[in-house]
């Protein structure tokens, strides 16, 4: 067995912002590690910068996004402040191999996978090639970058329309296009490449068969430096709009146990094959006949890691840090002696509360939060970094305000608990998706466990706000707004939930 070498961290820089920065600060503090934060000039008064032991402004000449992508500036801050390691969070530089190499050259530990694994699994094309080597099923299409219209047309004809164009280095639904016919292909091909170039600095795309109405299932894995890999069960992330997740839950009981076990085995085998270290997520699509296909690996912490933590009791962020310090999974510090040591207890749901207007194609809203009241109670967890009374919501960053996470013994119980919590939440001054989230959790499709990736677009009633006459009058009297006649297709000008 490889010799165990431990290097304890005293100070860690978190190269991120918002709720994930706060989440990592807390995990580090609980491990007795001092935290260093960074922030753009636009984030000078943001909540997250007040939650760290030290905070330093990034290059003020850089734009709000570019500031967090400035590798040289971040490394210089880390070196000047005596940082032992950097945690990248998610987004920004979290999947950038150049950032990992810069950390290595500076003698600073990167809390994540090694650079060679980042190259192989952070790229959707190369990760598919790794899956093929392991006999893990992938969606019919190509396993290489496509740069010409002629080639993409030929592949589309071979696998059959509709097809999906995807950015090789993409994520969050960007650089993705569904193409239904040969006539649509030229325009969509150009737009997919342009978006990929703008969002990720790389216009490589690939094409694969588009699966209609699949479930989106992902498996959380942890790997240490000594070749040990375990899975922390699965999550169902099928409730999406424009390929971006809205509600997630664990475990993924919506797929049969037999298929889930196969997916677990493939996820662990593929992770071991590439020598994966730290926390990672392997994503799969499962069709109506329960055929499953690997689509990508996210070599970082996921936004929805919370539901896995709730059902397993494992702090994934702390595990990331301990793994990078050199602790094996079966050490007392991490406490995972074997796969059989991990159990899924009950069910957990995560709701992403955003400043988006569902009635206006989920257009993000901006402004000042005049009122913010959060929910509480048994089995409710909040992960946030933006929402508080007086907060200025800018157009520069992700629209996520807070994540509400519920945990209970049964799926029915956790759904009721999540509904109760979201109804307690009060946010004024900006539009939010709260009424929409309530409708999702109260829909028949959700409660039957039958949501697929097209659930939102095929369920228009999710966008309806249904009010009883007495309740509508009470709301109108409280807020002082005139009730809008919804039968004419208008959206009420007030929050449908009475404080």
Residues 331, 220 share a domain = yes
Total number of domains in the chain: 5
The answer to whether position 120 is within a domain reads: no
Choosing from 215, 225, 245, 403, the catalytic residue is 245
Quote the DSSP letter at residue 455.
T
In whole angstroms, what is the distance from residue 194 CA to residue 167 CA?
A: 10
| pLDDT of amino acid 37 | 98
Whether the pTM exceeds 0.85: the reply is: yes
Q: Is residue 2 part of a domain?
A: no
Residues in the chain predicted with pLDDT less than 70, given as ranges, are 1, 170-173, 465-499
pLDDT (0 to 100) of residue 431: 95
Q: Tell me if residue 423 falls in helix, strand or coil.
A: helix
Q: How far apart are CA 81 and CA 315, in angstroms?
A: 27
Structure tokens that stand for 255 in this block: 């797929």
Which pLDDT value is given to residue 171? 62
| Cα–Cα distance list, 148 to 170, 199, 231 (Å) | 19, 20, 39
The domain boundary residue, chosen from 90, 111, 132: 111
Identify whether 131 is part of a domain: no
Q: What do you get for the CA distance between the two ends of the chain, in Å?
A: 60
| pLDDT of the residue at 466 | 42
Q: Are 297 and 200 part of one and the same domain?
A: no
Q: Are strands 356-357 and 363-364 parallel, antiparallel or unpaired?
A: antiparallel
Are 458 and 470 contained in the same domain?
no
**DSSP category for residue 111:** S
Give dist(CA 61, CA 44) in Å, integer.
14
User: Are residue 191 and residue 255 in the same domain, yes or no?
Assistant: no
- CA-nearest of 309, 310, 324, 248 to 283 is 248
Task: Name the 3-class secondary structure at 87.
Answer: strand
Q: Are residue 458 and residue 371 in the same domain, yes or no?
A: yes
Nearest CA to 398 out of 14, 18, 58 is that of: 18
Q: Look at residue 487 in the predicted model and tell me its pLDDT.
A: 33
Q: Which pLDDT value is given to residue 29?
A: 98
Which residues, 6+ apart, have CB-to-CB distance to 329 below 8 Å?
Answer: 222, 223, 224, 228, 230, 323, 336, 337
- Our answer to whether residue 5 is catalytic in this structure is no
Domain extent for 324: 215-341
Q: Check whether residue 358 and residue 406 sit in a common domain.
A: yes
Contact 322, 385 (CB under 8 A): no
What pLDDT does residue 476 have? 43
pLDDT for 227: 97
What's the CATH number where 198 sits?
3.30.1490.20
Residues 159 and 240 in one domain: no
């Amino acid at each position: 067995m490889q010799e165990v070498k431990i290097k304890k961290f005293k100070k860690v820089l978190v190269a991120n912002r918002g709720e994930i920065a706060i989440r990592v600060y807390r995990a580090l503090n609980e491990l007795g590690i001092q935290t260093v934060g960074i922030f753009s000039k636009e984030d000078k008064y943001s909540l997250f910068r007040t939650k760290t032991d030290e905070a330093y402004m990034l290059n003020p000449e850089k734009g709000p996004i570019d500031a967090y992508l400035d590798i040289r500036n971040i490394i210089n801050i880390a070196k000047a402040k005596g940082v032992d390691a950097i945690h990248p969070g998610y987004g920004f530089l979290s999947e950038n191999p150049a950032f990992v190499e810069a950390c290595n050259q500076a003698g600073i530990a990167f809390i994540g996978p090694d650079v060679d694994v980042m190259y192989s699994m952070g790229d959707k094309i190369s990760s598919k090639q790794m899956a093929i080597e392991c006999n893990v099923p992938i969606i019919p299409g190509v396993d290489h970058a496509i740069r010409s219209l002629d080639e993409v047309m030929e592949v589309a004809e071979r696998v059959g329309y509709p097809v999906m164009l995807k950015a090789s280095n993409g994520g969050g639904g960007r650089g993705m296009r569904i193409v239904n016919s040969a006539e649509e292909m030229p325009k969509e091909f150009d737009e997919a490449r342009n978006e990929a170039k703008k969002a990720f600095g790389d216009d490589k795309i690939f094409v694969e068969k588009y699966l209609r109405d699949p479930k989106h299932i992902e498996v959380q894995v942890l790997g240490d430096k000594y070749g040990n890999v375990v899975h922390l069960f699965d999550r169902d992330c099928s409730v999406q709009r424009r390929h971006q997740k809205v509600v997630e839950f664990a475990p993924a009981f919506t797929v049969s146990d037999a298929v889930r076990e196969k997916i677990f085995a493939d996820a662990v085998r593929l992770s071991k094959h590439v020598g994966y270290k730290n926390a990672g997520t392997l994503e799969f699509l499962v069709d109506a006949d329960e055929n499953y296909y690997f689509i990508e690996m996210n070599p970082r912490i996921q936004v929805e890691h919370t539901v896995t933590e709730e059902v397993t009791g494992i702090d994934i962020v702390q595990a990331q840090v301990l793994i990078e310090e050199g602790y094996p999974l079966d050490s007392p510090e991490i406490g995972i002696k074997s796969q059989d040591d991990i159990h899924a207890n009950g069910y957990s749901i995560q709701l992403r509360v955003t400043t988006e207007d569902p009635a206006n194609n989920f257009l993000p809203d901006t402004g000042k939060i005049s009122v913010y009241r959060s929910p509480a109670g048994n089995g409710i967890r909040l992960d946030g970094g933006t929402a508080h009374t007086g907060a200025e919501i800018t157009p520069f960053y992700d629209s996520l305000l807070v994540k509400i996470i519920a945990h209970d013994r049964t799926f029915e119980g956790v759904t009721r608990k999540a509904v109760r919590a979201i109804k307690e939440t009060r946010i004024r001054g900006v539009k939010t998706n709260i009424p929409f989230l309530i409708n999702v959790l109260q829909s028949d499709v959700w409660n039957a466990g039958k949501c697929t990736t097209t659930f939102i677009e095929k369920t228009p009633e999710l966008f309806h706000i249904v009010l009883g006459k007495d309740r509508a009058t009470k709301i109108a009297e409280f807020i002082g707004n005139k009730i809008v006649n919804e039968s004419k297709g208008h959206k009420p000008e007030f929050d449908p939930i009475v404080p």
